[in-house]
Structure 1
């Protein structure tokens, strides 16, 4: 069933300086940029923005926030840097400390992404606050591990978040944080199977969910668990699905997220960034990528060529 669809150089220099001077305690109301913001003030607006139409506004999702030299993964300063360039979805990972503080971290251990060692879950947050994050080249930065609350506060009126809840973290704790920060209008919870999606929907029927879907049967399993189409975004994996699958999911009003991390990003790096526009032209709506700036430039050209706009993009 189809859902109803409801002077440049100086400016760039100022933005660059603002990002380079970000304090580790960045808060929700600081460092707002006038351009590229996704302005969503209600859950209904999120539903509408994430509903498929032929004039849908294709977007980049920055995997782990879009790390780059000088900008670590899952860092607020990295989110700011990524959001300077384009309207963007930020994907990040959530883990829990020994004293039940939710923080942004992909790995179980601190070794790869910080100047610390050991398992994050075995340390209290007071210990994590002393650490510094490493950029993708292993260089220690001045940036610290952010809390989920800090991230959610910063994102309001700027971006959409897709929240990857790592193993051992209760969905209920993440949902409580989303509600506490009134972040429902710009938060999507990532799930990997129908049971996880059902658990999130039961806890928070109003929240948007990213669910894995590569066949009609995947949608049937979600429907059998009473999850309505208009609460779902379809993650179709890290390789393209057939045009028929895109058409099927679009027919249910769902946007499709294609993960380009890995092979597809490598293809674009070798063959040229028009690879990204080809993926959009063949049916993908959101590209989850490790090359957000390159993919973003390609999608911006695509949007201009097809005269695609959105009332929610400032």
Structure 2
């Protein structure tokens, strides 16, 4: 029964029951999930480590439950974190490998993705994250994914530095003056432990909390203020530091447990300890960090994805247990939900292991576990690079005793699948694929169906219109009843995290949908042309006043704001930069603003962009002028009335040089659409002043927005000009024009 209904019944029946309900609700446990970085299966004493001291974690394993067949979400950092938080394997996650966007930032986990933190927060839990987020920059970080409090690194590249110049608290940059100019004054992990204890101090017994601790140790750079525990060892310094980092983690986990006891929170708190992927190869060889398994971080062999998992709650979990159940990171979401007595409405890949933890029933097995990983090419933009920006480099399946691994090179078209029987061959030395064609057939079928193509960065591939000549451009805009409708994204399709008229925004829109992009040019004080919707700077940048009062160099020092008014790291682009960027990708529609049509045409010609740009002409005079200046130029012209069509018929300007903008008014004028089609010309209808505006002001929801687009497209319109290019692209997927 719905919880709100229960509460309403209680109010009617007996007010004192409210207190009883609250008492029952308060018995829900606190949950601490510690996920460290690059710790291998064999790095703990309880998992066979002989050289590194981990007495406290070993004691946790003795007094709790140790898992021997637990797998991380991925073999690298970012996708592993998404899998753990969202309950999805990497055939369904948005992020499927480590990746750097054009702005050298991590791809952001889409806000519509539900995390376990969001679910718990919506059900009364206080939520916190301390450590490394790695799933998006400010405005796209923990706050938007259900965390009441966060402290640490947002970007995984910055997390390589243990003496960073800044960290983020609730997504606000906190400068660490003692680390300025490369000084090593404050070790980030020390701050994480202090903030962890502060978070625990701030909790109240009557409200449960979820604390996610993605600590960065023992990830490189391998530095630590004190490695004295191993100072006498005849090891290279890096290996001493690595061992000291793990022993430091061991000590700090004990400190967290002790702090819970001090606050009388220990009896109602479950603690999980695990890692995001296997150890680096060098530690696998030196310390046997991967427990004798084949492979390491970045591999799909066991050493890359099988990691420790310890569950600790002496009051509830019987100590000394060892579980061989086959589990994965995406099982955390349903397990934590069941522990906290909340439901998950979204479909997920995870299966709760609650019954295993508490011995309450049968553990439902996975039919299979699935992973895929994309390798990022850090030299993709370097001269003479011949490799793609990323590629599907490996996939794996665990199905009972069977383990399948496939590897790919960037140019491979055929896939070779290796098959191992882990019961007989835990080191994956003997490929038995040829001996088991029936199992191999099952594996191939899973490979065919386990992954969905809804992760635009993996592989990195824009939805492009690669037009090579002005003739092809004219043909592109010629009407044909078999052509599918097109999105024209106004100002590039801005949204949260992506400003108006920004090249990063253009890229982001093309990641999700094929679109042409309408942009707005303005003159600077020194006669350059930049892209800005308004004649002033206040609304969309951290500047103020008129665009025309600033030089280009002054404007380049400013930063753009996104649709939420949040400042980004993006700069104002020039028209030249946009025209160069668009080649082979899309078509830019150059609006007028304060830049006359002859200058817009001049810029197109200067940048050899006749195949990638068109101009908007608001008057018959401008239409004639444009055609006289360059008869290759295609124009978007105002065709809201039959008289406009008659005027162009008589102007001498060929219809193949124009497309007709009808109106922002709804419903679209079908008579005008038909007249344009008779002339072989596409029609455009705007939505920014009606349904886009209604959505932005909360008058309609996303379903109504998509349906509004479908209604416009169903009228016969060829191009829909929208403020929300990505959402309009979703509507296009439902259109199959006859």
Report 1:213-292 matches (<5 A): 213-239=639-665, 240-265=667-692, 266=694, 269=702, 271-292=704-725
Residue number among 577, 602, 607 corresponding to 1:181 in the alignment = 607
Q: Say if 1:214 and 1:241, in contact at 8 Å, map to a contact too.
A: no
Residue number among 66, 79, 104 corresponding to 1:21 in the alignment = 104
Matched, 1:150 2:577: yes
> Matches of 1:210 and 1:86 in 2, distance apart?
21
Q: Say if 2:668 and 2:715, in contact at 8 Å, map to a contact too.
A: no
> Matches of 2:705 and 2:551 in 1, distance apart?
45
1:211 paired residue number:
637
Residue number among 53, 64, 76 corresponding to 2:491 in the alignment = 64
> Matches of 1:179 and 1:100 in 2, distance apart?
18
Q: Say if 1:268 and 1:274, in contact at 8 Å, map to a contact too.
A: no
Tell which has more relative contact order, 1 or 2 (C-alpha 8 A, sep 6+): 1
Q: Say if 2:686 and 2:721, in contact at 8 Å, map to a contact too.
A: yes
- Give unpaired runs (5+ residues) of structure 2: 1-89, 106-380, 390-456, 695-699
Q: Say if 1:258 and 1:287, in contact at 8 Å, map to a contact too.
A: yes
Against the structure 1 CA distance between its residues 52 and 268, is the aligned structure 2 distance closer, same or farther, given a 3 Å change threshold? farther
Give 1:11 shift. 7.8
Q: Say if 2:520 and 2:590, in contact at 8 Å, map to a contact too.
A: yes
Residue number among 93, 100, 104 corresponding to 2:531 in the alignment = 104
> Matches of 2:679 and 2:710 in 1, distance apart?
23
1:141 paired residue number:
568
Give 1:17 shift. 3.9
1:171 paired residue number:
597
Residue number among 279, 293, 301 corresponding to 2:734 in the alignment = 301
Against the structure 1 CA distance between its residues 17 and 204, is the aligned structure 2 distance closer, same or farther, given a 3 Å change threshold? same
Q: Say if 1:53 and 1:253, in contact at 8 Å, map to a contact too.
A: yes
Deviation per residue, 1:187-215 (Å, 9 max, x gap): 11012222222222222221000001022
Structure with the larger helix share:
1
Give 1:275 shift. 2.4
Against the structure 1 CA distance between its residues 244 and 171, is the aligned structure 2 distance closer, same or farther, given a 3 Å change threshold? closer
Deviation per residue, 1:220-273 (Å, 9 max, x gap): 222333211000010001023332221111101111110011213336746351
2:38 paired residue number:
none
What is the SS of the residue equivalent to 1:184? coil
2:42 paired residue number:
none
Report 1:22-41 matches (<5 A): 34-41=461-468
Deviation per residue, 1:115-154 (Å, 9 max, x gap): 1111111221111111111111211111111011100111
Give 1:181 shift. 1.4
Residue number among 505, 509, 518 corresponding to 1:82 in the alignment = 509
> Matches of 2:601 and 2:564 in 1, distance apart?
33
Matched, 1:126 2:559: no
Against the structure 1 CA distance between its residues 201 and 268, is the aligned structure 2 distance closer, same or farther, given a 3 Å change threshold? farther
Against the structure 1 CA distance between its residues 8 and 156, is the aligned structure 2 distance closer, same or farther, given a 3 Å change threshold? farther
Deviation per residue, 1:129-185 (Å, 9 max, x gap): 111111112111111110111001111111111111212x23222212211211111
1:3 paired residue number:
none
Asked which structure has the greater CA Rg, the reply is 2
Give 1:285 shift. 0.8
> Matches of 2:630 and 2:95 in 1, distance apart?
40
What is the SS of the residue equivalent to 2:733? helix
Against the structure 1 CA distance between its residues 111 and 15, is the aligned structure 2 distance closer, same or farther, given a 3 Å change threshold? farther
> Matches of 1:194 and 1:268 in 2, distance apart?
39
Q: Say if 1:71 and 1:77, in contact at 8 Å, map to a contact too.
A: yes
Give 1:14 shift. 5.7
- Structure-2-length-normalised TM-score: 0.38
> Matches of 2:720 and 2:91 in 1, distance apart?
28
Q: Say if 2:492 and 2:725, in contact at 8 Å, map to a contact too.
A: no
What is the SS of the residue equivalent to 1:113? coil
> Matches of 1:194 and 1:245 in 2, distance apart?
17
- Give unpaired runs (5+ residues) of structure 1: 1-6, 309-314
> Matches of 2:91 and 2:101 in 1, distance apart?
15
